[in-house]
Structure 1
Amino acid sequence: MTVDTSPRSTTFTYVEGDWFAGNPPLIGPTSHAMWLGSTVFDGARWFDGIAPDLDLHCQRINRSAANIGLKATMTAEEIERLALEGVKKFDGKTAIYIKPMYWAEHGQMGSIVAADPESTRFALCLFEAPMHTAKPSSLTLSPFRRPTPECAMTDAKTGSLYPNSGRMIIEARARGFDNALVRDMNGNVVETASSNVFMVKDGVVFTPAANRTFLAGITRARVMGLLREAGFEVREATLSVEDFMDADEIFQTGNYSKVVPVTRLDDVQLQEGPVTRRALELYMDWAKSSAKAAA
């Protein structure tokens, strides 16, 4: 049998003291992560010589590990240092995705379903991934819902949550949309299948209140703060599908593409509005000025 370990783009992975080019085989069929899904990850970005909020992403991966029952084996500062070391291996022309990961190799004795924290392993993977910032996106209401903390590990950025997101996107794309607007079990809008979501009505910016059913992201918090500093009224609120259908603007935020305008929600056509454009401008201005201040 031939094993294809070639990545889809230029990739470097750090594991157990060494850097490897490409996609090294790390998880075997008896690994707890492969068998029972004990994985957490985070994602930061490097582009145009900057890595906004890299420190916060490195801190969050360790919180995710603890929340899923793993043992963080690296400090946030060590992960950040390794990430910047890894960035230097690339040509600097294409944006990079920075992905620290933990997983369990074994289950606990007497209860193999539970991960053994002492078997936790760490890897840091960096790969080229072009930015799609400001590229318009379309949304449709998903028939699938976000779970509550009682039903899933929503307090961690764990890989086990993402098959649900995947089926949301597959279903949405089958109907001609890019992404899905997602509700919680009470029917309130919480995010999209892959990012946080904002709406604007009469100049006021709204985003779903963090209720532990979705990942209230680092970029989400950054954009909220920047808009408030710029004089916008920003409210976290319980929002319905009808609220979004009646919105003047809708945009998404997330680490992968930062700020993305929504120009269609089901049958409602939208324009990329001035608040959305300002949110992106504020974010990019902050990211570049922060990098200069740190230099």
Structure 2
Amino acid sequence: MADWSQTWTFFQGEWHEGNLPIWGVRTHAIWLGSSVFDGARVFEGVAPDLDLHCARVNASAKTMHLNPDVTPERWIELTHDGIKRFAPGTALYVRPMVWAERAGPQALPPDPESARWCLSLYDTPMRKPDGFSITLSPYRRPTIETAPVDAKAGCLYPNNARAMLEAKSRGFDNCLVCDMLGNVAELANSNVFMAKDGAVFTPMPNGAFLAGITRQRVIRLLRADGISVVETTLRYRDFETADEIFASGNASKVMPITRIGDRALQPGPMFRKARELYWAFAHGG
């Protein structure tokens, strides 16, 4: 049995401690993949952009044709209530989820009014910014015509997982995943930036990936600090010849990449500036 970290989940009107089993064998989400979720962070007592994460999970639910009876304001209220159940300063991951419980008349489209939801908070220490290695994945990101890439949907993540597992089989921690045209979209589990000649570049949102909330925040912070950030079409070769590469995401916020292929990299000034600015923003600086 898994040794889960301290977890509290709000479901059907009350808080439950531990790993709560809430899905049955006929739940549409585990049978036909109708779940959506989001992920926010609470570290050192703050939850940056919590309102945006709570709004996004509801938008994702709408994209999947689900009608949950919970508002972004309710998610926020419950998050702050849940934080009180942990020791002060605990690094928490906040995960609101929505899913369909029942199928519709033809099974595949769920019954939108059967949407259920829960909010889980659990102890997850922030990873140290010690960097990680990347390569190019042979797998691709789907398009809007082939998958619900405009939602933070659980059904998208098995493809990300197989990309990461393939990279790990070759001795890398993560990988750059391209869209169907061969342009870099993102890492297997987060958005990506590169720096070259004093400017920062990141893949242009083109419908193949979610332009993450932390990504958007980092872009705004860097631009406000006078740094040029260009959203553009990038190929793997651009990253191979970059001065530095770093990632942004909900779990670890801003992280350096220290190897691409056989080439070692050092955490550079753009990474350090992005992380410094993000931490200042998160703490009201």
Letter in 2 for 1:90: F
1:204 aligns with 2:199: yes
Cα deviation for residue 8 of structure 1 reads 1.6
Q: Residue 125 of structure 1 aligns to a residue in which SS?
A: strand
Shift of 1:133: 4.6
Deviation at 1:121, TM superposition (A): 0.2
- Hey, what does 1:215 align to over in structure 2? 210
| 4+ residue segments displaced more than 4 Å | none
**In 2, Cα distance between the equivalents of 1:177 and 1:84?**
37
Written as runs of structure 1 = structure 2, the 5 A alignment for 1:1-295 is 8-109=4-105, 111-289=106-284
Do the aligned residues in 2 keep the contact of 1:138 with 1:264 (CA within 8 Å)?
Answer: yes
The alignment yields a C-alpha RMSD, in angstroms, of 1.0
Q: For 1:197 and 1:287, locate their aligned partners in 2 and report how far apart those are by CA, in whole Å.
A: 20
Deviations 1:149-204 (A, max 9, x none): 00000010000000011111111112111111110010000100000000000011
Per-residue deviation, residues 70-117 of structure 1 (Å, max 9, x unmatched): 1131000000010110011011243100000000011112x1111111
**Are the aligned partners of 1:7 and 1:23 in contact in 2 as well (CA < 8 Å)?**
no
Check the 8 A contact 1:133/1:259 in 2, yes or no.
no
Equivalent residues of 1:133, 1:258 under 8 A apart: no
Task: Point out where structure 1 has 5 or more consecutive residues left out of the alignment.
Answer: 291-295
Rounded Cα–Cα distance in structure 1 between residues aligned with 2:282 and 2:102:
40
Deviation, 1:45, is: 0.4
In structure 1, what is the Cα distance between the partners aligned to 2:161 and 2:223?
A: 33
1:123 CA drift (Å):
0.4
* Partner secondary structure for residue 185 of structure 1: coil
The 2-side partners of 1:70 and 1:285 are apart by 37
Give, as a single letter, the amino acid of the residue that structure 2 aligns with 1:227.
L
* Secondary structure of residue in 2 paired with 1:106: coil
What is the alpha-carbon distance in structure 1 between the residues aligned to residue 182 and residue 145 of structure 2?
17
Q: Secondary structure at the match of 2:175?
A: strand
Q: How many residues align?
A: 285
Partner of 1:112, secondary structure, is: coil
Secondary structure of residue in 2 paired with 1:74: coil
Residues in 2 aligned to 1:116 and 1:211: alpha-carbon distance in whole angstroms: 30
* CA-CA distance at 1:7 after TM superposition: 5.3
Using the aligned pairs only, state the percent identity: 53
Three-state SS of the structure 2 residue aligned to 1:108 is coil
Alignment-mate amino acid for residue 191 of structure 2: N
User: 2:45·2:90 contact (CA, 8 Å) conserved in 1?
Assistant: no
CA distance in 2 between partners of 1:177 and 1:91 (Å) = 36
Report the CA distance between 1:224 and its aligned residue: 0.2
2-structure distance, mates of 1:75, 1:263: 40
TM-score, with length taken from structure 2: 0.98
* Aligned partner letter, 2:173: D
**Structure 2: distance between partners of 1:11 and 1:44:** 15
CA contact (8 A) 2:254 2:275 kept: yes
